[in-house]
Amino acid sequence: MDILRTVVVFDAADLEEESAFWAAILRGQVARDDEWHTVFDESGEWRVGVDLNPTYIKPEWPNGVQQQQVHLNLQVEDPYAAHEELISLGATVLEPEKDFESPEGFLVYADPAGHPFCIAWGQPSAADIQAFLSKRAK
């Protein structure tokens, strides 16, 4: 499996608040969609994703009952090959399989201990990201 990048994804009920926080820390910028924000650091590297979850409840970690709510995205070129490899390594699919032929998508898995993670495909290349950020900086 060829992983293009790994992205830590924070669930949030308020995309703007969460992404603005991380953009300020990373001295970067935010690219916004209705249900997803991408946070780039000051060098233009994609560092954090923020996923809209309207029913999100803040964790009470480390001493509460509410679990942590963060997951990892593995952005891949070939989703079907990545899927096959993940299943062979012991991952479990957590939602119905997607159309691997679609130009863009994601699929949610759990690792053997139950931690959720996703593969995603059809995401912008590093060159596309740099072009996008350079346009915004003008």
Sign of CA dihedral 109, 128, 33, 100: negative
pLDDT at site 138: 59
Give 93-104 pLDDT, tens digit per residue: 988 767 888 888
pLDDT at site 62: 58
Q: Looking at residue 105, which CATH number applies to its domain? A: 3.10.180.10
Whether omega for the bond prior to residue 62 falls within 30 degrees of 0, making it cis, is yes
Give 56-113 pLDDT, tens digit per residue: 888 776 577 777 678 888 889 999 999 999 999 889 998 876 788 888 899 998 887 6
pLDDT at site 78: 92
Domain region containing 9: 3-137
Give 2-17 pLDDT, tens digit per residue: 888 889 998 898 999 9
What's the total number of domains in the chain?
A: 1
Distance of CA 41 to the CA centre of its chain: 15
Give 15-51 pLDDT, tens digit per residue: 999 999 899 988 899 999 999 999 999 999 999 999 9
